[in-house]
Structure 1
Amino acid sequence: MNTAHEAIAQHTTGRTAVAPWAADPYADALRAGRGPLFLRRTDGWLLPLEVERWCARADAVDREVLTRCEGAVLDVGCGPGRLVVELAASGRAALGIDVSEAAVDRTNRRGGQALRRSVFEPLPGEGRWGTVLLLDGNLGIGGDPPALLGRLARLLLPGGLLIAETVPVDVDELASVRIVRTADLTGAGGVRGTAGAPFPWARLGTPALLRCARARGWHAVGQWAAGGRAFVALRSRSTSSSAEPPNSTAVISNHLAAKPSPDSPATDR
């Protein structure tokens, strides 16, 4: 398996042929709006993916998160777009990014705005986003949390807000996983060839995220739990910057001009 740093290099150079979150079986599940779907570690451990919740409307826990957002909001790994749609419905400027064409299509059909793009590719409004959302396990993107946090700091305004969802237990894990359906699992504990290809992933509880974030200049401004889920709010380093002041309308309205072709490399969640 590639190291996490090699995986991120592939994200930016396009050497990865197929994005795990961009192809079947994830795309099939999003189009159907239901699972069951899992992340499977190499030792056979399964993590259920909450496809039905992701495809539903934002719930009370989601809405509480959204009340904490500031300025223009970038939802990294937006999936089928429930958060972007909720923000748009309340008149907030928001953009989702996801490598899955099915996810982006569903978001746009529901009234949100989304772009098919990896977080490690150039994005609209870099350095001008007021809030970045990293929910639904997306701390795992790339299997390298330090690199991901560094990238998100460059997307935000100085002193901007990151709201991240953590695993609600104390865990700090980097692993190779693949996306599987029940039909992909064999009685011997293996997987059939219809399962997704292996890729690096990370799972962090709140203590692990705080350790990682502090070492890279972030500081925590909030922690809370609701509905069996755990969240951390972090602020990026407040330094002088030549970045333009936030302009929510411009950030959002310009994103379609930068939209890549369907063959553009896209390899994160």
Structure 2
Amino acid sequence: MSLLSPFRTPWVDDPFAEAMRSGTGPLWLRRADGHRYPLDVERWCAPPDAADRTLLLRCLHRRLPTIDLGCGPGRLVAELQAYGLPALGVDVTRTAVDRALGLGGSALCRSVFDRLPGEGRWGTALLADGNLGIGGDPGALLARTAELLAPGGVLLVEVEPADLDDRVTVTVEDAAGRCGPPFSWARLGARAALVQATAAGFRPTDAWSAHGRHFLALHHPGPIR
């Protein structure tokens, strides 16, 4: 199957943007060797499920402003704001951000590596739904997340159930076989994620599983003065 495509920018001008508009899949991340990882579009576009609520409850318990990195269609940030918690979603896909805004959430169409509001002042950060893979360099992403958090801030991150550390080049593929442009991605289990997190100055405070999904809570003490 050809990887040639009229699309230009991953997540923006590829089948993912169309799926965010319709709220339906199926979609996959496709490696060059043909192996595919499913993207759970319908779950992301639905209200928060029981596993999501384990994240949301931790945010609500902390009662601190929360930033959702790679927020997609915004189910988490909209739910937090519905409970009165200051929250902001960030995503590079305009159709996803539009969907988040339509839910009543606050969201920006921007990369996590761009300048963002409240840098160094967020109490909690979220990297759910595989978003630890953003950019294909988890160490750089975790270091950037540390810059966004206030001293003592907490990152809640979803990790892969298997013990793996994959750095791959993928494309987004739809059911018709259309593919967007290739880009770098990563998939980390808990062990590999903790190695990268420790290097970025985080320390683990909790780990839990819910409905087949796996999560870590990572505390960041902030810069040493």
C-alpha separation in 2, matches of 1:92 and 1:213:
26
**Residue in structure 1 matched with residue 3 of structure 2 by the alignment:** none
Q: Which sections of structure 2, spanning at least 5 residues, go unmatched?
A: 1-6
Q: Which sections of structure 1, spanning at least 5 residues, go unmatched?
A: 1-16, 185-193, 242-269
C-alpha separation in 2, matches of 1:93 and 1:18:
34
C-alpha contact (below 8 Å) 1:175/1:201 kept by paired residues: yes
Could you tell me which of 20, 23, 26 is aligned with 2:16? Answer: 26
C-alpha separation in 2, matches of 1:238 and 1:29:
38
**Residue in structure 1 matched with residue 218 of structure 2 by the alignment:** 234
In our comparison, the structure showing a higher alpha carbon Rg is 1
C-alpha contact (below 8 Å) 2:54/2:210 kept by paired residues: no
Paired positions, count: 216
Could you tell me which of 205, 211, 223 is aligned with 2:207? Answer: 223
* 1:172 to 2:165 alignment: yes
* Deviation at residue 157 of structure 1 after TM alignment: 0.4
Q: Cα deviation per residue 1:123-177 (whole Å; 9 max; x = unaligned)?
A: 0000000000000000000000110111000000012100000001101000000
* 1:52 to 2:42 alignment: yes
Q: Cα deviation per residue 1:222-244 (whole Å; 9 max; x = unaligned)?
A: 00000100000001134457xxx
Q: What code does the residue aligned with 1:29 have? A: A
Instruction: Report which stretch shifted further, 144-153 or 209-218.
Output: 209-218
* Deviation at residue 213 of structure 1 after TM alignment: 1.1
Q: Cα deviation per residue 1:6-55 (whole Å; 9 max; x = unaligned)?
A: xxxxxxxxxxx943011221111111111010000111111010000000
- SS in structure 2 at match of 1:183: coil
- SS in structure 1 at match of 2:100: helix
* Deviation at residue 216 of structure 1 after TM alignment: 2.5
**Residue in structure 1 matched with residue 4 of structure 2 by the alignment:** none
The structure, 1 or 2, with the larger RCO (C-alpha pairs under 8 Å, 6+ apart) is: 1
Could you tell me which of 195, 200, 211 is aligned with 2:179? Answer: 195
C-alpha separation in 1, matches of 2:146 and 2:11:
24
- SS in structure 2 at match of 1:57: coil
**Residue in structure 2 matched with residue 67 of structure 1 by the alignment:** 57
**Residue in structure 2 matched with residue 207 of structure 1 by the alignment:** 191
* Deviation at residue 214 of structure 1 after TM alignment: 1.4
* 1:95 to 2:95 alignment: no
Could you tell me which of 21, 24, 27 is aligned with 1:37? Answer: 27
- Pairing 1:49-198 to 2, within 5 Å after superposition: 49-69=39-59, 70=62, 71-184=64-177, 194-198=178-182
C-alpha contact (below 8 Å) 1:37/1:48 kept by paired residues: yes
Instruction: Report which stretch shifted further, 159-168 or 23-32.
Output: 23-32
CA-based RMSD of the aligned residues comes to 1.3
TM-score by length of structure 1 reads 0.78
Q: Percent same amino acid among aligned pairs?
A: 55
C-alpha contact (below 8 Å) 1:76/1:138 kept by paired residues: yes
C-alpha contact (below 8 Å) 1:75/1:132 kept by paired residues: yes
C-alpha contact (below 8 Å) 2:156/2:218 kept by paired residues: yes
Q: What code does the residue aligned with 1:201 have? A: W
TM-score by length of structure 2 reads 0.93
